[in-house]
Structure 1
Amino acid sequence: MSQLWSPTSGLPRPKTPPTASAGLELPLSPGGTTRVRWPGRRFAQIVKLKPEFIDKYKEVHAAVWPEVLKQIKDCNIQDYSIFHDPGTGILFANFKYVGYDFDGDMEKMRDNPKVREWWRMTDGFQESLVPGATSSETGEPSWWKPVEEVFYQP
């Protein structure tokens, strides 16, 4: 769960959702009584897991710190998962951002001391695939490598 949220992470920015502050009307629900939530944007990233840390990585992710989980939710991240390919050591992370202020939410994520502590721990289990990356906390270049979505079937 390393560098996923930094505004300087190299991830493509989500398409701007409609906002009332931008002078746009938010769509109404079919009954016309409530605003419809922006469906969000999906992100995907990869990093390499060091083979000697496979068991430890799985162990810490089986019990993610409550402060980290709360911050993820509070920053409008949903449907977050990480997959591991034991053949290549690649970790594949994907999540959906459903908020209205991506940069602001990512700053909130970065400002949380427990999240930064989590990143320092999990970075030690990983090798970045991004040339020049040094850690999740440094931001640029990003620790996790963004990957392009080429197909989606909702």
Structure 2
Amino acid sequence: RLKYQGRRFAQIVKLKPEFEEKYKECHANVWPEVLKQIKDCNIEDYSIFYDPDSHILFASFKYIGYDWAGDMEKMAENPKVQEWWRMTDSYQESLVEGAKSSLAGSPPWWKGLQ
């Protein structure tokens, strides 16, 4: 039987320039509960890159689970993740038309790339 190789995802969002330092500070010390939930939802190799010229954040990760919708539902139900999203969303501007927040779900806050 072949091992499932997973699926890579890439997403972008815009960082409000006035929050660059706060954003970097919080991501230098991601809350342990958030990191655990990410792992428990079958996400690994998660990285976020920042382009200071365009203020774009580029996120990349690998999903190794078999139930994306279910895992994302579990992620969104975690109170610490909700608190984290409220904080980090306030530093960002979505590039998705009609997006309200990470908590709102659809349309997504981060713009998916192909």
TM-score (norm 2): 0.97
Alignment partner, residue 8 of structure 2: 42
Match of 2:60 in 1: 94
**One-letter amino acid of the counterpart of residue 75, structure 2:** M
**Alpha-carbon deviation of 1:103?**
1.3
Count of residues paired in the alignment: 114
Residue correspondence of structure 1 range 129-148 to structure 2 within 5 A: 129-148=95-114
More strand by share: 2
Q: Who is 1:72 aligned against?
A: 38
The 5-angstrom pairing of residues 1-154 of structure 1 reads 27=1, 36=3, 38-148=4-114
User: Deviation at 1:107?
Assistant: 1.0
For each residue in 1:54-113, what CA deviation from the matched residue of structure 2 results, as whole angstroms up to 9, or x when unmatched? 010000000000000000000000110000000000000010000111111111101100
Unaligned runs of 5+ in 2: none
Question: Matched residues in 2 for 1:118 and 1:108: separation?
Answer: 15
Q: CA deviation at 1:140?
A: 1.2
Residue identity matched to 1:55: E
Rg: which structure is higher? 1
TM-score between both structures, scaled by the size of structure 1: 0.72
| Structure 1 counterpart of 2:79, one-letter code | P
